[in-house]
Amino acid sequence: MAAGLCRVSLLRLSRTFSPGANPALSIQTWRCASTRASYGQTLLNVPETKVTTLDNGFRVASEDSGLPTCTVGLWIDAGSRYENQRNNGTAHFLEHMAFKGTKNRSQMDLELEVENMGAHLNAYTSREQTVYYAKSFSSDLGKAVDVLSDIIQNSTLGEAEIERERGVILREMQEVETNLQEVVFDHLHATAYQGTALGRTILGPTENIKSINRQDLVDYISTHYKGPRIVLAAAGGVNHDELVKLADKYFGQLSMSYEGQAPPVLPPCRYTGSEIRVRDDKMPFAHIAIAVEGVGWSHPDTIPLMVANTLIGSWDRSYGGGNNLSSKLAQAASEGNVCHSFQSFNTCYTDTGLWGIYFVCDGMTIEDMTFHVQNEWMRLCTSVTEGEVQRAKSTLTVMLLFMSGCACAPV
């Protein structure tokens, strides 16, 4: 048997070192072919997701990949969708107040502690969630969880800091008005979900920001920052049992009851097909978003819509390519010179979503680009090829693997 294996090995080497071949290149090619991980092998490297629920409904989720670093964060069901017309903007305001000091740490102490760990602390607000997260060494996981716990449970919410952040948010709102893509998507939500919570902006109206006070912030925390509505999630060099112990230590006392009221629930959002145009002839280009009703994250059509989104793709005039572009819409946009750029999108929420395309074009080519978009959508329904679908699935798979950090993981 050993002799047989030797003959096979010599045969492979003789083929690799063929006459006239570059030996160094042949060895490199042979090594790459023998060590390249298949898609199935790569998926085997994805660590198991472990989930534990504490007695108060607080959930803990982790994936241990054995790395020397980790990311840990708190995902709270408290975004603009849980707000009403009067307090719209409160969740985002709280995000700004997160790092301004707690009962246990001043703002300076908080910043020094994070810097001494070499960690990165940040937060963001979406329409359905508020997120506070930290990136640190795995050995500092306990310190990171301690800081996150202190931020959401013991923020001082000082009057001076509130007034200072009020000015910061108002300036941020002015900056957002200059970002036409954000403006368009805010209009898209307001039109698609008019009269419902998803139609409101994350930042809120100016009059709300000017009137929000400390009691509004305290009330929002006491209403929404409850155990069953928070998930502590971590990935990297994280031991799940250790994370559960930290969660029980720092969050086990969080209340799960609501005094005198039922727990807040997501109000149903009615999708309304309609149109809004904001005309400004001083602008050099038109920024346009066209969308149809999508699905929520847990819907079985989520993955097919992600594949369709990837198939349409994105394009910018600086890419070049012309007839060699894989996207049919990109070919039409390039050859016909009907837009400067476009990108498809698939925005998912808990129970609904928006699937569509955003593009920038000259005012005189809006109708032409809209025709090509509708034509491409019709082609998806009637004549897309199996090869195109397979290519989109492969592209989406690679994108998801890179996002999860396992595409380059050793086998």
216 & 324 share domain: no
- pLDDT at residue 15, as a whole number: 40
Domain extent, residue 290, equals 286-404
Task: Report yes or no on 311 lying in a domain.
Answer: yes
**Same-domain pairing of 314 and 389:** yes
Across residues 119-135, what is the average pLDDT? 96
Domain CATH number, residue 173: 3.30.830.10
pLDDT for res 40: 61
Please give the residue that has the higher pLDDT: either 7 or 79. 79
Candidate list 83, 95, 128, 376, residue with the active-site label: 95
| Average pLDDT for the chain | 87
Structural domain includes residue 335:
yes
Helix (H/G/I), strand (E/B), else coil: 14:
helix
The answer to whether residues 72 and 218 belong to one domain is yes
Q: Are residues 147 and 91 in the same domain?
A: yes
Sheet bearing 49-53, strands edge to edge: 49-53, 59-64, 230-236, 69-76, 130-137, 120-125
Confidence of residue 42 (pLDDT cuts 50, 70, 90): low
Q: Are residues 110 and 216 in the same domain?
A: yes
* pLDDT at 5 exceeding the cut of 50: no
Does 276 score more than 50 pLDDT?
Answer: yes
- 39 lies in some domain: no
Would 393 be classed as within a structural domain?
yes
Of 41-55, 64-78, 225-239, minimum mean pLDDT range: 41-55
Q: Is residue 44 assigned to a domain?
A: no
Report residue 335's pLDDT band, with 50, 70 and 90 as the boundaries. Answer: confident
- pLDDT exceeds 90 at position 33: no
Q: What is the pLDDT of residues 246-269, one digit of tens each?
A: 999 999 999 877 765 656 677 778
Do 211 and 311 lie in one domain? The reply is: no
Indicate if 247 and 295 belong to the same structural domain.
Answer: no
Asked whether residue 118 is assigned to any structural domain, the reply reads yes
User: Alpha carbon of 325 to those of 74, 235, 303, 330: distances in Å?
Assistant: 41, 37, 24, 6
pLDDT tens column, 394-406: 999 888 877 765 4
Spatial contact of 188 and 127, defined as CB atoms under 8 Å apart: no
Domain count, the chain: 2
Does the pLDDT value for residue 305 go beyond 60?
Answer: yes
Do 181 and 320 reside in the same domain of the chain?
A: no
Q: How many residues does the chain have?
A: 411
| 3-class DSSP assignment, residue 135 | strand
* 24 in a structural domain: no
- Same domain, residue pair 303 and 170: no
Name the pTM for this structure: 0.83
Q: Let me know if 95 is a catalytic residue.
A: yes
Residue 409 pLDDT exceeds 70: no
Decide if pLDDT at 9 tops 70. Answer: no
Rg value, the chain, Cα: 26
Residue type, 299: H
Query: Among 21-35, 237-251, 318-332, 368-382, where is mean pLDDT lowest?
Result: 21-35
The predicted-structure confidence for 136-180, as pLDDT tens digits, reads as follows 999 999 999 999 999 999 999 999 999 999 999 999 999 999 999
In this prediction, residue 257 carries a pLDDT of: 76
Residue 372 pLDDT exceeds 60: yes
Asked whether residue 239 falls in the same domain as residue 297, the answer is: no
| The pLDDT of residue 14 | 39
Question: What is the arithmetic mean of pLDDT over 3-32?
Answer: 43
Residues 247 and 292 in one domain: no
| 392 found inside a domain | yes
Share of the chain above pLDDT 70, in %: 84
On whether both 297 and 340 belong to a single domain, the answer is: yes
Per-residue b or e along 283-310, where b marks 16 or more CB atoms closer than 10 Å to that residue's CB? eeebbbbebeebbeeeeeebeebbbbbb
Residue 74 has pLDDT above 50, yes or no: yes
